[in-house]
Amino acid sequence: MNKFTALYQKAKSVCISILKKILSFFVWILTPILILVAALYQKVKPVCVRILKKILSFFLWILAPVLILTSAFITNGIIIFLFGYNPIEAYAAAIGITFGSVSAVSETLVRSTPFLMTGLSVAIAFRCGMWNIGAEGQFLMGVLAATWFGTKIAILFPNTSWIAVPLCLSFAILAGGIWGIIPAILKVTRGVNEVISTIMLNYIAIHFVSLMIDGGPLQETSKTGPQSDPIAEWVFLPRLFESHRIHLGTGLAVILAIVLTYVLFRTTFGYQLRAVGEGAAAAEAAGISISHNTLRVFFISGALAGLGGAIEIMALVPHRLTENFSPDYGYTAIAVALLAKLHPLMTVATALLFGALAKGSFAMEAEVGISRQVTLMMQAIILLFVIGASAVKFFRKRTL
Amino acid sequence: METENILELQKLTKAFGDLIAVDNVDFELQAGEIHAILGENGAGKSTLMNLIYGLHQPSGGNIRIFGKSKVFKSPRDAIASGIGMVHQHFMLIENLTVAENIALTVAQFSSKDGNTDSIESGTESPPEENGIPSKLSTFRYKKSDAIRLTEALSNRFGLAVDPSVLVRTLSVGLKQRVEILKALAVDARILILDEPTAVLSPQEVTGFFKILRALQADNRSIIFISHKMKEVLEISDRITVLRHGKKVYHGKTGELSAPGLAREMLGEELSEVERKENKATTDLVLNVSGLTVPGSRNENAVLDVSIQAYRGEIVGIAGVDGNGQRELAEAIMGLRPITSGAVEILGRQPSGTKNIRKCGVGYIPEDRRTMGIITSFSIADNLMLNITHFEHLAKRGVISQKAKNRASTQLINTYDIRPSSANIPASALSGGNQQKIVLAREISPQPELLIAVNPTRGLDVNAAQYVHQNLFAQRDRKKSVLLISTELDEVLQMSDRLYVMSRGRLIEATAHRDNIEALGLLMTGETDE
């Protein structure tokens, strides 16, 4: 007993001394600063106000997404509870599998990559005021081009990764870009609404891919199922670390996000894109060609989605094109981009969120036993919150 | 005719910020009279009507209806008090039938208890005419009732329209009839007609006037807003003229002749500014020949227009808004397709706005908020919103932030744009400061040809003067300026050669520059006589 009392006394004295030190630190360091600030108040004021304003605006900028997500998670927690599971346990499992270890993080990043690529594709198009809903189709056309190259053409360059990989990626970029430029041409020449044409082109792409691998020229040689052969080994994208699945494509996607940010905010090209998106009439009067920029942005948007598709097949096992290759990446990308406020750098964060969501719901299924339907519903609820909040935002912007 | 005042405005004032749009206006409307309100653009006619109709709330003064002081929070209140307004742009639902459009209005206003009694205050309640419903159920829409109601209304006032026809298939004249019916359906005692004849053909105008006479015979009062002198003289009982928000003339129709009214409208006192002698050369900058441009409604907005601008001169185009000035400017800038004719700039025929701008053409568009600036962009971004600017600031496609900041700081200081921080969005600026952004951007590069449409609209006197100095400076630099403005004073003061644009046609009017009455007649399209 005495021992404990002694220990308590010791702890108490240590605590007090620490508190005293902190106090003295405040007194000795902060007081002069405060006096200085007070003395130079008039001079310092604008700087302080500016810093405070920056902090506040940053806080507000970050606050909206955080609020949206918090309310979505609370709603989902209620749903989990209503279905008879422990929400805390479920969230713990989800967090553990997404960020619990190095390999978990690596896996989450791998899952996020297609969201990032398609998200960037959508973000850049929306920035220009082009409602490209066709990332799904452009993604699939990229996959198709990569599969075609990987299974048929790559044999011409045996074991030459340094030629085959860039060439394969270029094929996918071209395929996605061309698929993207079709609605742009229709819009510029015929005035076809791009929302309709891109959705239609999605259907065409989905069924065209099915056709190619189900009895078509790209079906596996054994002709057993609706899938392609695996692509040649020397077209695989290398991993970044030997022991983890995180691959070159993830790095490429992040670099692209940075490059796109630079292009959007620092180049004449990006300036023109934004001008067309924010005020088409003013842009036109300034001498910026709307049709020119429509074509360009659609090509880039499609190319990004197509590249994302190629990365998926070239980096991940089984390296073959199957049916339902894309679990609606291209549509989810709209939410990814909107949540990021169409900012390429923010898209990295939102894509990560969506990758984590996909993995987390898998963990809830596997570890807590929540059924797939419920986890899908939860994901949809999060999307609903996000889209709802963005819609409010867009509405406000118009009325201003 | 009784002299009962059905509507009285007492010292009505409306200020928007520093701008006083309506200044101490007294006005009365008698039962069964057609009262015309004349005035230039920006004279305050529309603001005054919006005050009566409850779209704006007055900053001072009183609105009295049937002798009772009223405060309208919204048009709903105004309609309930028996005021109907036919806007210049129709407020009809195109995809509904005539009967449905009318039923929509009736259902809204007959359902609210309390509304009907304010209609009745001062007049008799709308009579139930041999079984025809004057009210419709709010909840259940009965097609037959709506059609019967519409037919009854059209018969009563002689406004023949087929009730079961879709509004979008109607001609403009018939749509206007539906608008009037809509107002009558809720028993409007006071009808405000905003430029009603602007959209009508001469034949339709004759029919329209018959309708007005019929309404007048029914002891309803009409406020007729127009700037077409001839029509005003033909239809109205009394005339009120507004200028710069003030009532400048009020009297019985016929007291003043058309030229007299024109003088009242435009103001006699023309500020004398020292004009340097014309240094125009014979060096052609802009050569427009035989230009015909379609408008948005399939008519020809610009008709066979030819105009030249030489180095060292300011060519002015005066005219009332909406007579093709905007379309002419846009066609020259390559923003609007041309039916026939040619635009030649410095001997070349550049195609596309980009190439036209690269020939050295500056453009101050009429519609500042949609064409002049991008409101969500920062001031700095807006200051380089011109293909020649941002290409100049960039090296191999990358915009130099340093050059951009230097350029924007300099322009903000020279043009006194406030607030002066380059990074705040243009939406935070007042209209005048937004205009300064456009002016700074378009005038500062000293373009070979500057097309300025209403460049001083929304600016205070000093800022306007600064713009005028800049335009003169352009002229003295042996550049060319095409000044299109609805402010007659401005055009007279600035231009070396003067044109008047009316109904898409351009009339050379340099010879009339000292004869304001003649100019007024030209502007109001009274040339044929």
pLDDT digits over A163-175, tens only?
899 999 999 999 9
Q: Do A285 and B372 touch (CB under 8 A)?
A: yes
Contact A196, A206 (CB under 8 A): no
Of A279, A285, A397, the CB nearest to B353: A285
Contact B48, B25 (CB under 8 A): yes
The string of pLDDT tens digits covering residues B31-88 is 889 999 987 766 788 888 888 998 888 888 888 888 888 888 888 888 888 898 988 7
**Closest Cα in chain B, distance from residue A263 (Å):** 8
Q: Does residue A74 carry a pLDDT above 50? A: yes
Q: Is residue A10 part of a domain?
A: yes
Mutate to test the interface with B, among A268, A342, A399 (most CBs of B within 10 A): A268
Q: How many CB pairs under 8 A join A and B?
A: 73
**Closest Cα in chain A, distance from residue B56 (Å):** 18
Q: Is residue A319 part of a domain?
A: yes
Of A266, A274, A284, the CB nearest to B353: A284
Of A267, A281, A288, the CB nearest to B399: A267
Give chain B's domains with CATH numbers: 1-82+189-266 (3.40.50.300), 91-187 (no CATH), 313-336+352-523 (3.40.50.300)
Of B354, B367, B384, the CB nearest to A289: B354
At residue B323, the pLDDT reads 82
Judge if A9 and A158 occupy the same domain. no
Q: Do A400 and B397 touch (CB under 8 A)?
A: no
What stretches in chain B show pLDDT beneath 70?
A: 1-3, 17-19, 41-42, 110-140, 198-199, 201-203, 268-280, 297-298, 458-462, 525-529
Q: Is residue A389 part of a domain?
A: yes
| CA angle centred on B221, ends B158 and B119, rounded to 5° | 90
Q: Do A266 and B399 touch (CB under 8 A)?
A: yes
The kind and range of the H/E element at B316 are: strand B313-318
At residue B527, the pLDDT reads 52
Q: Does residue A399 carry a pLDDT above 70? A: no
- CATH code of the domain containing A392: 1.10.3470
Listed in sequence order, the residues at least 6 apart from B71 whose beta carbon sits closer than 8 Å to its beta carbon are B57, B63, B77
At residue B270, the pLDDT reads 44
**Closest Cα in chain A, distance from residue B376 (Å):** 7
At residue B468, the pLDDT reads 87
Mutate to test the interface with A, among B326, B330, B386, B387 (most CBs of A within 10 A): B387
- State which residue of chain B sits closest to A279, comparing Cα positions: B374
Q: Pairing mode, if any, of strands B19-30 and B5-16?
A: antiparallel
At residue B462, the pLDDT reads 67
Q: What one-character DSSP code corresponds to residue A30?
A: I
The string of pLDDT tens digits covering residues A242-296 is 888 889 999 999 999 999 999 999 999 999 999 999 999 999 999 999 999 999 9
Q: Do B370 and A266 touch (CB under 8 A)?
A: no
**Closest Cα in chain B, distance from residue A305 (Å):** 24
Contact A169, A310 (CB under 8 A): yes
Judge if A26 and A88 occupy the same domain. no
Judge if A32 and A160 occupy the same domain. no
The string of pLDDT tens digits covering residues A313-326 is 999 888 999 988 99
Q: Do B386 and A286 touch (CB under 8 A)?
A: yes
Q: Do A285 and B354 touch (CB under 8 A)?
A: no
Judge if A161 and A90 occupy the same domain. yes
Q: Do A400 and B388 touch (CB under 8 A)?
A: no
Q: Do A282 and B374 touch (CB under 8 A)?
A: yes
**Closest Cα in chain B, distance from residue A306 (Å):** 25
The residue length of chain B stands at 529
B444: its two tokens: 């500062």
Q: Does residue A135 carry a pLDDT above 70? A: yes
Judge if A97 and A24 occupy the same domain. no
Could you tell me the residue range of the domain that residue A307 belongs to? 72-399
Q: Do B370 and A287 touch (CB under 8 A)?
A: no
Q: Is residue A63 part of a domain?
A: no
**Closest Cα in chain A, distance from residue B459 (Å):** 20
Angstrom distance (rounded) from CA B179 to CA B157: 13
Q: Is residue A239 part of a domain?
A: yes
The single residue listed with the structure tokens 């108490």 is: A12
The kind and range of the H/E element at B242 are: strand B238-243
- State which residue of chain B sits closest to A262, comparing Cα positions: B398
At residue B282, the pLDDT reads 77
Q: Which of B303, B321, B367, B36 is nearest to B198 (CA)?
A: B321
- State which residue of chain B sits closest to A287, comparing Cα positions: B354
Phi, psi of B84 (to 5 degrees): -120, 145
At residue B119, the pLDDT reads 38
Judge if A261 and A294 occupy the same domain. yes
Judge if A34 and A178 occupy the same domain. no
Q: Which of A301, A314, A248, A265 is nearest to A120 (CA)?
A: A301
- State which residue of chain A sits closest to B376, comparing Cα positions: A278
Of A269, A286, A397, the CB nearest to B385: A286
Q: Is residue A338 part of a domain?
A: yes
At residue A360, the pLDDT reads 86
- Beta-bridged to residue B65, according to DSSP, are B7, B68
Q: Compute how many other C-beta atoms are within 10 angstroms of the C-beta atom of residue B349.
A: 12
B298: its two tokens: 């399939």
Written as one string, the DSSP assignment of B2-68 is ---EEEEEEEEEEEETTEEEEEEEEEEEETT-EEEEEE-TTSSHHHHHHHHTTSS--SEEEEEETTE
Q: Is residue A218 part of a domain?
A: yes
Contact B486, B321 (CB under 8 A): yes
Q: Do B376 and A271 touch (CB under 8 A)?
A: no
Percent pLDDT > 90 in chain A is 48
Judge if A26 and A161 occupy the same domain. no
Q: Which residues does chain B have within 8 Å of residue A271's beta carbon, measured at their own beta carbons?
A: 381, 384, 390, 399
Q: Which of A300, A302, A311 is nearest to A146 (CA)?
A: A311
R_g over Cα of chain B: 26
Q: Which residues does chain A have within 8 Å of residue B391's beta carbon, measured at their own beta carbons?
A: 268
Order of strands, edge to edge, in the sheet holding B19-30?
A: B19-30, B5-16, B60-65, B68-70
Judge if A41 and A173 occupy the same domain. no
A247: its two tokens: 């691959």
Mutate to test the interface with B, among A126, A127, A265, A266 (most CBs of B within 10 A): A266
Q: Which residues does chain A have within 8 Å of residue B385's beta carbon, measured at their own beta carbons?
A: 275, 282-283, 286
The string of pLDDT tens digits covering residues B25-43 is 888 888 889 999 987 766 7
Long-range contacts from A99-104, C-beta under 8 angstroms, 24+ separation: A99/A356, A102/A244, A103/A243, A103/A244, A104/A359
Judge if A329 and A375 occupy the same domain. yes
Longest dimension (CA), chain A: 91
Q: Is residue A340 part of a domain?
A: yes
**Closest Cα in chain A, distance from residue B119 (Å):** 34
Q: Which of B181, B49, B149, B72 is nearest to B118 (CA)?
A: B72
At residue B131, the pLDDT reads 46
Judge if A40 and A81 occupy the same domain. no
At residue B528, the pLDDT reads 47
Q: Euclidean distance between the first and final Cα of chain A, in Å? A: 71
**Closest Cα in chain B, distance from residue A342 (Å):** 14
Confidence bin at A306 (pLDDT 50/70/90): very high
* Count of domains forming chain A: 2
Judge if A110 and A217 occupy the same domain. yes
